[in-house]
């Protein structure tokens, strides 16, 4: 009951200030600036911090705006919402590029999240949007090959992990490779996606060989 009251209090506070402040980070900044010994202000300040911490742990958000909505949709496999969002934007616009390039508090892109939660339709939709941007003259390589903050893993590192776990993970590997994912990018452990596949050859004996063949072919073609 106490926890429920706490969260109701926080949502009440956010409701009061959301229109003015627009996002959780600004809300925190507002309460950080409170002076004096008003017990209610201090209680709200602590409550907001707890709420944000819970959101960051469980919902992978940066703030409560379109970024949150996109990551929530990617995590839940809500392809329709993602397509509806990008339908409002021109593929060649800065807004569309910024939206699909956005990262959460773990420096994951929407591609990372789609692979991490094994949502094939979401990945297909995102790569479709990126292919349209590429046709419009945009460079999408930095998005396809973006790395996370601590692990420095690309979406392809994630996909290889999915393929190691089972055959269904091959889909993510193939789609990302087709979109231009690089095999030579090292994560924080100094390992490429091929290295990860080699280390787990006992679980998926064909994966490493396939990736090595793709890598050799790309080098031979000068890609």
CATH code for position 153 = 1.25.40.20
Neighbours of 181 (CB within 10 A): 22
pLDDT of residue 181: 97
pLDDT of residue 138: 92
pLDDT of residue 163: 95
Under-70 pLDDT residues of the chain = 1-65, 223
- Please check whether residues 147 and 112 belong to one and the same domain: yes
Distance of CA 103 to the CA centre of its chain: 5
- Please check whether residues 84 and 17 belong to one and the same domain: no
- Please check whether residues 100 and 47 belong to one and the same domain: no
- Please check whether residues 212 and 164 belong to one and the same domain: yes
Q: How many domains does the chain have?
A: 2
Which of 32, 58, 84 lies at the terminal end of a domain, its last residue? 58
- Please check whether residues 50 and 99 belong to one and the same domain: no
Contact of 133 with 101, CB cutoff 8 Å: no
Would you give the DSSP letter of residue 203?
A: T
Q: Tell me the residue range of the domain where 12 lies.
A: 2-58
- Please check whether residues 37 and 85 belong to one and the same domain: no
- Please check whether residues 20 and 113 belong to one and the same domain: no
The DSSP line for 156-188 is HHHHHHHHHH-GGGHHHHHHHHHHT--S----T
* Residues near 14 by beta carbon (within 8 Å), at least 6 away in sequence: 24, 27, 48, 51, 64
Distance of CA 150 to the CA centre of its chain: 14
pLDDT of residue 175: 97
What span, in angstroms and rounded, lies between the C-alpha atoms of 104 and 82? Answer: 16
Using CA atoms in the order 83, 123, 149, 89, what is the torsion angle rounded to 10 degrees? -20
> What's the count of helices (H) and strands (E) in the chain, helices before strands?
13, 0
pLDDT of residue 89: 85
Which of 58, 77, 105 lies at the terminal end of a domain, its last residue? 58
- Please check whether residues 151 and 76 belong to one and the same domain: yes
Neighbours of 138 (CB within 10 A): 18
């Amino acid at each position: 009951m106490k926890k429920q009251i706490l969260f109701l209090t926080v949502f009440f506070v956010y409701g009061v200030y959301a229109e003015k402040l627009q996002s959780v980070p600004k809300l925190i900044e507002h309460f950080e600036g409170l002076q004096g010994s008003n017990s209610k202000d201090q209680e709200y300040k602590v409550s907001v911090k707890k709420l944000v911490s819970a959101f960051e742990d469980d919902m992978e958000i940066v703030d409560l705006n379109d970024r949150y909505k996109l990551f929530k949709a990617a995590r839940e496999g809500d392809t329709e919402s993602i397509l509806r969002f990008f339908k409002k934007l021109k593929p060649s616009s800065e807004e569309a590029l910024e939206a699909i390039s956005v990262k959460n508090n773990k420096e994951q892109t929407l591609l990372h999240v789609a692979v991490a939660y094994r949502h094939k339709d979401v990945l297909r939709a995102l790569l479709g949007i990126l292919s349209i941007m590429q046709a419009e003259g945009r460079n999408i390589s930095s998005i396809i090959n973006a790395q996370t903050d601590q692990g420095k893993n690309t979406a392809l590192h994630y996909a290889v992990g999915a393929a190691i776990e089972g055959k269904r993970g091959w889909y993510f590997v193939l789609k990302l490779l087709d979109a231009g994912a690089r095999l030579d990018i090292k994560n924080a452990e100094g390992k490429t996606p091929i290295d990860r596949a080699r280390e787990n050859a006992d679980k998926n004996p064909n994966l490493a060989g396939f990736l090595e063949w793709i890598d050799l072919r790309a080098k031979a073609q000068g890609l």
